[in-house]
Structure formats: C-alpha cells, structure tokens
Amino acid sequence: MSTEHSATLSAQAVSDPRPPLEQRLDPAIRKLAVGVWTAELIGDELANVSYAGRPVLRAIKAVVRDHEWRTFAPSVRDMAEVKDDDGISLRLHVDYAAPGTAGPAFEAMLLLRLTPATVEVTFSGRAKVPFRRNRIGLVVLHSTSEAGREVSVVSPDGMVTTGAFPTDIRPDLVFTDISSMEWADAGTAFDLGFSGDLFETEDQRNWSDGSFKTYSTPSALPIPVDVAAGDTVHQSVSLEALSIEAPDSPAPAVDEPAAFTVGEQAGTVPPLALFVDSAEAGSGSSGEDAQLQGIDAVLVELYEPREAWPAKLAAAVRQADRHGAALDVRIVAASADAVAEALSAAMGGSLSRIARLGLFNPDTHCTDPVAWTGLKESLRETDFRGQLLAGTRSHFTELNRWAAGGTPVPAGADAVTFSLSPQVHSTEIAHIVETVPVQRLAAANALKLGEGRPVHVGPITLKPRLHAPDQPSDGDELQDHSFTAAWTLASLQALTLDGVASVTYFEAAAPRGIAAADGTLNPVGELLRKLAACQGDPVLAAGLDPVPGSAAKSPVTVYPVQSGAGLQLFLGNLSPREATANLSLPGGASPVAADVAVIGASAGAHAHATPADDGALAVTLGPWSTAVVTFPGRA
C-alpha cells in the first residue's frame, strides 16, 4: 500500500517576485532525486538528468515553434507535486505565448515522473488560437560529450540500426525513424523511448548549440502546417536504466577556487570588427567613448533595392572613420549583374577602402559559385584589392550543408565566412553559455571545409539575424548587461584559433550594439575597446590545473594577452555567483603590482585581486563580471 503526499502550487506560489531579467540570469532550480536518479526542474525544462552521478541527458523539454522557427515563450501557470512509495510526479500547466503577443496561443499539461527505474515526461497540448507551426512537441537534448558514443536505434517496425553521435559537426541527420534509442555507459544500459510521433536526431552544434537534439515532426514532412484552435498534440518520452553492474558513482566535486597556470603563447588576438545594419547608424554624435581604435573593419550588408546602398554605405563609412577601420561589405543579390558598378557608384567611384567583399544568394544565404565568378570578373576593371569571401551570411549549418551538398568553394576565394548566434533554439542563460566551446569546433570545421583558407566569423549577435528572409534581428535585454561582456570574452577565447582571420561582434549602435543611445559604451563595448587595442598581440595559454577526484571546470574565462605595455589578464565570470580564480603567473609578473580594472562597473560588475604567499594571484569576480588585471612592463 502506497502513501501519497500531494501539494498544489498556485500561480502565485510558482511565480518569482524578482525582476524578469534577474530571473533569467539566475533561474529558480528545483532539485529532484529518486533512487540514484537526479534531475533539475528549471521552469518547464527537466534538465541535467543523471544516473548514479553520471550525466545521461542534458534536458527534456517541450517546444512550440511557428512558421518562421520562432519559439513561443513558455510560462508555468501552476504546478502540483505528488510523492508516493514509487517516486515523484510533477504536473505543470504551461502557457506558450507567440512572439509579439501577450496572451497564450497554446497551452499544455506536462507530467514528469521519476521512479527508481525510469524518468518519464508526458506532453498533452492544445492550441488556443489558430497559427502556423513548424514543430510542436517534446525534444530531448543530448550533451556534446556524447560525441563518438555508439547507439542502437529501433524503428517503429522493430528494425535495429547502429550508429554513433558524430565527432565533427554533421550536416545531415544523425539518426532517423526513431521509436527508441539504446546505449550503455559505465555498466548501465539505457533505453530512451518515444511515442506520439516519429522522432529523429540532428546535430545542433550546426547552430552553435551545446547539444544533439532528438525531436518530432520529421524534416521530410512538409512545413509549415496550419494549426486550428482546439487542435491537440500528445507525446511522451521514457528513459529507463538497467544496471549491468553496480553503478560506479564519480567522486563529488571539490568546492575550491579554480587554479590556472599562465604559460606559453597559444595564439594571437584576432582582428575584431563591428556590424552596421542601419542607414541611420552613426549619423549623430556618439562621443569619444564609442571610438574603438584598433577595430579591423566595419561590416555592412547590402540588399535589394540598390537605391538604398548609398545611405547604408555612408553609415558604414561614418562608423569606419570613427574607429579608423576598413570596410567589410556583404552583398545579398541573386546574381552579379551590375553589382560592381552599383557598388562603385555608391562608394563615389572607388572600391579601394573595401578590405573584404562577399556575394550571397538571398534565398540560400550562401555563395553561388557562378555569381561569385561573375563578380570577380567584373571587379577586374575596378580598384578593388581586398579579399573575396565565400560561404554563408547565415549560421554554420548553411556552410556545412553547402559544402556537403557538393558545392565547392570557388577556386579563387580568398577566405570563407559564417555567422552565429547563441539563441537559435534556446534563450535560457545556461544554453547560451554552452554555445561557447562549440564556436571553436565550428571554426575548426570551417577551416576544414575551406581547405585551410582563413575564416571570418560573424556577425555574431545575441539573437538570430535570420529567422526568415528580410526579418530584422530582435534586440535582447542582455545587450547592455555585464553578462554579455563575460560571454563575449569566453567567445573570443574559443575563436582565438590559427586560421580565424577576424571576428565581428554586434552592431555599432543601440539597441543591438556596443553603445547606448547617448554614445557611451556598454560593458561589451568597453571590453571590445580594450581588446581591439591588442590586435595581433600574443595570447598566452591559461590551463585549468586538474584537481584530483574532480572534473576540471570553472565559470571563469582567463585570456592572458602579452603586449608591449605589459601582461594583461582578461577575466570573465559566466556565473550568477561570485567566482575566484587562483592564477600562477609567468616569471616577471609580480602579483603585488597587479592593477585591476573592472569592465562594466557602472552596470554593477565588480572584481578584486589578492596576492598569495606562493606568488600566485587570486582574482575574485562578481556575478557575470569581467575585469582586466594588468602587470606593468614585460613579463
């Protein structure tokens, strides 16, 4: 006979009284544990599902995505919890708001069930208003640490195929026609079953996500689909564990400050660029604070109609003049017909200031080899002497598919390019942070696809520039927050890679840029100003010292730059908690001489340094804070 305890939390009890941005940066987490299973409930997402202390799934969540791949925002209306002898059940009533609307367009009941043997998630949803959708239902996120793991896939008719999560970023589907997935890890066999639809798996690293994703609505089916009010969706996911031998639980994490050793040169600070997406950008006085001397280029995209090109180029030139930079021009046109002539006319008859030039098809967002060749030929009669780029103006996935589809990089291309955004699929802070290491992998894969040609990464924007053709990028409340400076530093560290020839971050002007409307730099603008001045300077290795019995992890980024003025340690904390890094310094750098400059102090960032008796330096950073620690003279 089981004994039950139930509690229903009202909307008021479920709601969080903190401001929305604070909730987003530091979400409430409910820890769940049954037997050797543990998981975290964060909003409507069942996250970090582990068995005997070992990660199994990154997340299970439900998504509603419209015809332009925009995700409806979920909010938990109420939640009920039931505990019995067999485990825990949570019932969540979730509303999903369409972009730009106030009321819910879709509602669902999510039932989460944890027992000693299984983890189950059931989704029952109903449309409240008509809309067009590309996908509705449950998705399972597998950690990128699963790369290389062998998996058996069972189809609905019982056929079993074997495969593995890929190491390099895969342009096509990883697994298809999935009824269940089976694999083994550390003496435990896992069975992940799906019902309510056919599922398949894609490599989300194509969009810089830190996961592989198994989802419903197979990509072979036509989309979008009209959804009528009252239409329903029912799906479930079940994860079962069978221990072949006694689970070997890993040692608990050691709660001590991370230790880093600053060593030999590991790269150089890549050239940095800014993006201009408006003819009005930079038309007014933005003040001295907005000048970033050392910026390599200002990137501008030109679309049809061509009558708009002169004004947009003029805005880019104003920004380039402010920063002492060149121009990086990306043209979006179906052919090269009269492109060189129109560009030359808009530039006053001279193309000599353009350092990089690319041509992309408006439908595919990729370079068309025939049009690219036509553009190259037409430029012979001009004074253009810059680099001709090929690739995509969109996400890495388009470059990956473009190359995999048999489209060769034009033989005369000087370099390749792709853009990225950390919020193509998820807006949660943890998922944004997890894109950082994937950016390095994407750049390395782009170097392979380009057969060693230099890679220009960007524009990098917090939210996607491209949901649908000509759809403008949305702003993000994070843009002026100190979080974005810490995230950008981590991103730049990931992209400091031999072969990465430039990185373009954000726009020049508000609301998606490096400065506020009055021209004062926001935290990421302050950071980029300091980093731009270091272009080409050596970047030293900063290895995280291993701690016995614990995985080497830290929310702190350490980016040491050696310049003629001395050693500069750029540090960023990607955590809602204060974090400390203990730094072993190279010879000649005295911790007593350390000077700490906080990035974004006016936005609440803070940091301080404390010398240690052993010659090390402890730097403590506030939540989401970034700082530069400088040691005068050469180290």
Q: What pLDDT, on a 0 to 100 scale, did the predictor assign at position 243?
A: 79
Angle at CA 29, nearest 5°, toward 28 and 33? 160
The gap between the terminal CA atoms of the chain, to the nearest Å, is: 71
CA 506 to chain centre: 14
E strands present in 171-271:
175-178, 180-185, 188-195, 199-203, 211-216, 225-227, 232-243, 258-268
Show the low-confidence residues of the chain (pLDDT under 50): 1-13, 284-287, 468-470, 635
Q: What pLDDT, on a 0 to 100 scale, did the predictor assign at position 424?
A: 92
Per the document, the length of the chain is 635
Residue boundaries of the structural domains of the chain: 27-147+165-173+183-243, 258-262+540-632, 270-535
What would the two tokens of residue 547 be?
A: 């701690």
Torsion angle in degrees (nearest 10) through CA of 50, 56, 58, 59: -80
For residue 89, which of 118, 63, 111 has the smallest C-alpha distance?
111
Q: What pLDDT, on a 0 to 100 scale, did the predictor assign at position 441?
A: 98
What would the two tokens of residue 360 be?
A: 């992309």
Fold classification of 27-147+165-173+183-243 (topology level): Beta-galactosidase; Chain A, domain 5 (2.70.98)
pLDDT in tens, 523-535: 999 999 999 999 9
For residue 332, which of 312, 352, 353, 350 has the smallest C-alpha distance?
312
Fold classification of 270-535 (topology level): TIM Barrel (3.20.20)
pLDDT in tens, 450-489: 999 999 999 999 999 875 444 556 789 999 999 999 999 9
CATH of domain 258-262+540-632: 2.60.40.1180
Q: φ and ψ at 33, to 5 degrees?
A: -150, 125
For residue 257, which of 584, 587, 598, 606 has the smallest C-alpha distance?
584
Q: What pLDDT, on a 0 to 100 scale, did the predictor assign at position 468?
A: 47
**Count of CB atoms situated within 10 Å of the CB of 13:** 10
Whole-structure pTM value: 0.93
Report whether 40 contacts 31 (CB < 8 A): yes
